Amino acid sequence: MIRALWCHPESGRVEVGDHSLIDAWRAAQGTHLWLDLADNDPEAERRLMIDRFGLHPLAVSDALHPRHPPKLEGFADHAFLLLKGIGPAQARFDFATLQIAIFVGTDFLVTRHSAPSTSIDRLWQELQDDPSRLVQGPDAAALRLARLSIDHYTQRLLTLEPWLEDLEDDLAAHPRDATLAELTRTKTDLRRFRRVLRYHVQIFEDLLDDDERPPQITAARRHEINDVYEHQERAASLATLYYEVATDLIDGTISLASHRLNNIMKVLTIVTAIFVLLSFLAGVYGMNFEQMPELHTRYGYFILLGVMATLATTLLVVFRRKRWI
C-alpha cells in the first residue's frame, strides 16, 4: 500500500492520493506531503525513498530491517526516527510489535511500517478531518503519531492490572500449572515491553536536548516532545511495575507450593517416625526363634498391642506439644 496526503498550508486544503502526488508536491512550493508505505516490495520502497526523497541509504536500510531497535538519527535534510508500534489487541496479553520508520523533512513526512498500524490509520483520518498538524509542519504530525503509538502501549498495559489482581486470588486459592505458565509468558512479554520503552524514553530525552535534536524537529515542538516523553516514561514505569508484580506472583506461587510440599513431607515424616518403632516391635516378635518367652505369654499379643498404641499416642502428644502437627 502506498498512499499520500498533500496539504496546502495557505488554504488548508488536503488532497489524498498515491505516489503520483510527489511530482505535484515538488512543483508547489510551501506545501507539505505525507507519504505512507506499508506491505510493498522492499526494493521498490527503497528506490522510492532514496530516489524521490533523497533519504540516506543507511537510514532506509534500517527502516526496511525487520528487527532493528528503536533509534533517532539526524541527517542534513531530514531526521530519522525508528519506533516500535504495538500490534492489534489479542485475547490474551501479548507483545506483538511492528516497526514504524518516520522520516521528517522540512516539508515532507515519510512513514514506513512493517504491518497495518492502528496509530497511523488514526492519524491519517485525523489529518483528513483536521489538517492543522500537517499545516504546522511534518514534525508536528510525526510527534502526534508518536503520541498515538504510546497511548496504545499504555492502554494495553492497563488491561493487565485487573487480570493480575484476579490471578493473585486464583493462585492463592487454586494454584495450577497452566496459570503459572501463563503468568511466566506475560512476564516475558513485559520484559520486552520494558526494553522497547527504554529505547523510546532515551529517544525523546535526546529530542528534549537542543544539542541532540535534529533541526527538522524544531524547538517550537518542545512541549509536544515533552508530552510524548512523559507518556513514554509513564508506560515504562507501568511495564516495570507489572513486571515486578508478575515476578512476585511467580515467586509467591512457588513459595506456596514449597510450603505445601513441606507440610506434606512433615506429615509423612511424623507418620514414618511413629511406624519405625511399631515396625521394630512387630519385627522383633515376628522372628521365628523357639526361645522367645513372650510368645508363650497368655496375654502377650494384647500387651504388645497396648505397648504399640501407647508409643504411638505418646509420640503424637510430643509432636503436638512441639507444634510439629
The domain limits of the chain are: 2-257, 263-321
Q: What is the pLDDT of residue 318?
A: 85
**Strand blocks (E) in 247-325:** none
110 vs 39, higher pLDDT: 110
The secondary element (H helix, E strand) that includes residue 167 is: helix 160-173
Residue 292 DSSP code: -
Give residue-wise pLDDT tens across range 85-102: 887 666 566 677 888 999
Whether pLDDT at 230 is above 90: yes
**Residue type for 135, please?**
V
Whether pLDDT at 66 is above 90: no
In the three-class reduction of DSSP (H, G, I as helix; E, B as strand; rest coil), residue 17 is classed as strand
| 32 within 8 A of 109, measured Cβ to Cβ | yes
pTM: 0.77
Separation CA 273–CA 177 (nearest Å): 32
Nearest to 59 by CA among 41, 42, 72: 72
**Looking at domain 2-257, which of 3.40.50.300, 3.30.70.3190, 3.30.465.10, 3.30.460.20 is its CATH number?**
3.30.460.20
Q: What is the pLDDT of residue 237?
A: 92
185 vs 295, higher pLDDT: 185
**156 band by pLDDT with thresholds 50, 70 and 90:** confident
Q: What is the pLDDT of residue 93?
A: 64
Q: Residue 55 — φ and ψ, nearest 5°? A: -75, 150
Separation CA 221–CA 141 (nearest Å): 11
Those residues with Cβ within 8 angstroms of residue 112's Cβ, 6 or more apart along the chain or in another chain: 36, 37, 38, 45, 49, 63, 64, 100, 101
**273 band by pLDDT with thresholds 50, 70 and 90:** confident
Whether pLDDT at 305 is above 70: yes
| Helix runs in 28-109, H state only | 42-47, 53, 57-64
Architecture of domain 263-321 in this structure:
Up-down Bundle (1.20)
Q: What is the pLDDT of residue 31?
A: 87
Cell of 154: 499504555
Whether pLDDT at 110 is above 90: yes
| 145 within 8 A of 138, measured Cβ to Cβ | no
Cell of 180: 503459572
Q: Range with the lowest mean pLDDT among 6-10, 41-45, 89-93, 307-311?
A: 89-93
| 4 within 8 A of 16, measured Cβ to Cβ | yes
Q: What is the pLDDT of residue 89?
A: 64
Cell of 323: 507444634
